[in-house]
């Protein structure tokens, strides 16, 4: 009997509000002021929300997820879960054993509480995790504004005590066929993930597209979408770093030059690592769909 392949369902096809040459914060400000509208994606048949990609994986070792996406995309996620229930004949919520986070940002963990029986996995070394999702944080210091952004997630029960922290990428209980890749730069402990099997089938539930490869690499925000990848592969790879045109004082909190230089250097190294990992396989972007490097 032929072994069933690993299946990756894209619950939410992430979208990216700003391209490599755009200032995200200025663009969001103009959208908020009603000066411009959010772009419309013909492929997805909806407006670009800026939410992250969410993956539901059925492997020989069980069912798990990578990121849960943004709360603003919850209706899309729920519709996709209904499709999985029909296609796989399982409860798509209760069957999830664990959710791995590429990083702690709210647009990648905004629907975790829909999966109360799953283990929510996060890197124990994340320096911002306790500030973002801690309940009794009396003084967040320079991160106060950053913490405020995630208040909605905390109010829905996405808090520190619900997460399981792992100190090593090869920890006990890690799903079979999942490899965790250190790709710092977007933040200090950003993770990407390689899903490997004899056959890995990718089903994009938003677009209906299907793909197959022996390895699929989820880039997270190390490579937001195809625009950033193509920029990295071009003549000016440093302009592929997300937020490269944002002045230091516009970040929340403001970044100092030394920190930005360190993260930018790490980001370029991480992008190169993912390009190499993606050879002979597929890439899934943190704010985009599927890319075949060999097509």
Give 101-126 pLDDT, tens digit per residue: 999 888 999 999 999 999 999 999 98
CB proximity list for 197: less than 8 A, separation 6 or greater = 5, 6, 59, 60, 177, 214
User: Mean pLDDT throughout 195-204?
Assistant: 98
Q: What gap in Å lies between CA 53 and CA 55, rounded to an integer?
A: 7
252 has a pLDDT exceeding 80: no
Predicted local distance difference test score (pLDDT) of residue 1: 66
Please check the confidence at residue 267 and state whether its pLDDT lies above 70: yes
Express each pLDDT in 139-148 by its tens digit: 888 788 878 8
* Domains with residue ranges and CATH for the chain: 6-291 (3.60.15.10)
Which residue in this structure is represented by tokens 């663009």? Answer: 27
The span from the CA of 182 to the CA of 176, in Å, is 18
pLDDT at residue 91 greater than cutoff 80 = yes
253 pLDDT more than 80: no
């Amino acid at each position: 009997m032929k072994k069933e392949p690993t299946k990756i369902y894209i619950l939410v096809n992430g979208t990216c509000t700003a391209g490599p040459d755009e200032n995200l914060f200025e663009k969001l400000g103009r959208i908020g002021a009603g000066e411009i509208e959010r772009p419309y994606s013909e492929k997805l048949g909806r407006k670009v929300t800026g939410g992250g990609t969410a993956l539901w994986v059925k492997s020989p070792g069980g069912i798990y997820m990578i990121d849960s996406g943004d709360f603003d995309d919850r209706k899309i996620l729920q519709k996709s879960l209904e499709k999985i229930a029909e296609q796989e004949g399982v409860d798509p919520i209760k069957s999830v054993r664990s959710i791995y986070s590429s990083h702690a940002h709210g647009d990648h963990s905004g629907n975790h509480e829909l999966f109360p029986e799953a283990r929510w996995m996060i890197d124990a070394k994340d320096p911002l995790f306790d500030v973002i999702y801690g309940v009794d944080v009396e003084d967040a210091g320079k991160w106060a504004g950053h913490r405020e952004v995630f208040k909605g997630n905390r109010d829905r029960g996405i808090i520190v005590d619900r997460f399981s922290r792992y100190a090593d990428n090869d920890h006990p209980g890690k799903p079979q066929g999942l490899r965790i890749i250190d790709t710092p730069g977007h933040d200090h402990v950003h993770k990407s993930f390689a899903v490997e099997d004899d056959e890995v089938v990718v089903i994009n539930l938003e677009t209906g597209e299907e793909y197959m490869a022996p390895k699929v690499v989820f880039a997270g925000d190390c490579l937001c979408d195809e625009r950033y990848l193509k920029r990295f592969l071009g003549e000016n790879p440093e302009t592929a770093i997300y937020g490269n045109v944002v002045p230091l004082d516009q970040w929340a909190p403001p970044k100092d030059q030394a920190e930005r230089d360190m993260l930018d250097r790490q980001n370029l190294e991480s992008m190169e690592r993912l390009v190499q990992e993606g050879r002979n396989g597929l890439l899934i972007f943190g704010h985009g769909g599927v890319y075949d490097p060999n097509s």
